[in-house]
Copies of this chain bind each other. A is one copy, B any other.
Amino acid sequence: MKYVISISREFGSGGRIIGKKLATKLGVPCFDRTIIQKTAEKSGLSPDFIARAEERARSRFHWTIAPLGMGSPAFATQNIPVSHQAFFAQAEVIRELADQGPCVIVGRCSDYVLDDRPDCVKVFIHADLESRVERSVHEYGIPEDNAATYIHQMDRGRANYYNYYTGHNWGDMRLYDLTINSTTTGIDGAVDLIVDMLRHREEREKAAIQF
């Protein structure tokens, strides 16, 4: 079966662990933070700068402070701000990874970057605030009294970043084949649902070929 699964997710929804478990179940690689290192190599920008792109996007003024003409010489000669260089290089990395074979890619606007691939299956994971606070505190060590604010800030960063580069609305379900509230299904339940969806999709494709 030919597919690339893009998983987008709210902060603290368990989307990353769902991506990892899904990849293990399907026996394919999961690309998440590894994309940052590959993007750094391609662009000449620091991994930290690339990793913090969404974080910077929390502020509505983030684009105006991007310095010009640094990073990769190829981009620099075109006067492209480094934030944009990071995005373009990352998009290239994502497309190269998808070309290598079936895989799971978590976040990084991969749903948009791979939108022209008919084999790209798009999933969005969200969750109730209560579960997200719990996960943030226990898995990411964020102080409990600050967790809800932190979650909202992270989501705002992801939304700003996504909306800016894609022109779409982050979290618009029409962009996805499946969106799941992981509070309802649990992590393993969400993994199962994605596998089931893949199976149904494959059956439909086979049927379409027959007729």
Interface residues of A (CB under 8 A from B): 121, 124, 126, 171-174, 176-181, 184-186, 188-189, 192-193, 196-197, 200-201, 203-204
Contact = CB atoms under 8 A, between A and B. Distances in A.
Main secondary structure on A side of the interface with B: helix
Given A179-B178, A179-B179, A184 B200 contact: yes
A200 B179 contact: no
Q: How many copies does the complex hold?
A: 2
A178 B180 contact: yes
B179 A121 contact: no
A126 to B, nearest CB: 6
Contacts of A197: 180, 184-185, 189, 193
Contact of A201 (B121, B184, B196, B200): B184
Contacts of A188: 200
Given A179-B179, A193-B193, A185 B173 contact: no
A185 B171 contact: no
